[in-house]
């Protein structure tokens, strides 16, 4: 699943002429492109989808959404390392490798 997730801008930089931000998604920090929201500032919240900030969001709505996503386990699913998740699911020979 690929969701648009609210995040809080921690800092902003310009790289190769493109504004990018470090964004906190309830404890998960990622780099985000700000080209669609050129006036977004540090401390503000935005809805982010596939690495792009798409819409400014007020703090109350952002925090409620993050809390709900956390409760539902959506953030873990959205930001989990796919290799780690696959390893945790085992494979067709997982029981044999574990000596079972």
What is the rounded CA–CA span in Å between residue 66 and residue 75?
8
Q: Is the pLDDT of residue 22 over 60?
A: yes
pLDDT tens track for 37-65: 999 999 999 999 999 999 999 999 999 99
Hey, which residues does 3 pair with through a beta bridge?
none
Hey, which residues does 45 pair with through a beta bridge?
8, 57
Token pair of 82 as six digits: 């796919």
Q: Which fold has domain 5-92?
A: SH3 type barrels. (2.30.30)
pLDDT tens track for 62-94: 999 988 888 887 776 666 655 555 556 665 555
């Amino acid at each position: 699943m690929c969701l648009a997730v609210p995040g809080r801008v921690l800092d902003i930089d310009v790289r190769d002429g493109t504004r990018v931000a470090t964004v906190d998604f309830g404890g998960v920090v990622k780099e985000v492109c700000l080209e669609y929201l050129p006036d977004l500032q540090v401390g503000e919240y935005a809805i982010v989808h596939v690495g792009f900030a798409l819409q400014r969001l007020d703090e109350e709505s952002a925090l409620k959404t993050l809390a709900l996503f956390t409760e539902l386990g959506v953030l873990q699913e959205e930001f989990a390392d796919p290799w780690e998740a696959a390893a945790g699911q085992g494979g067709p020979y997982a029981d044999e490798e574990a000596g079972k």
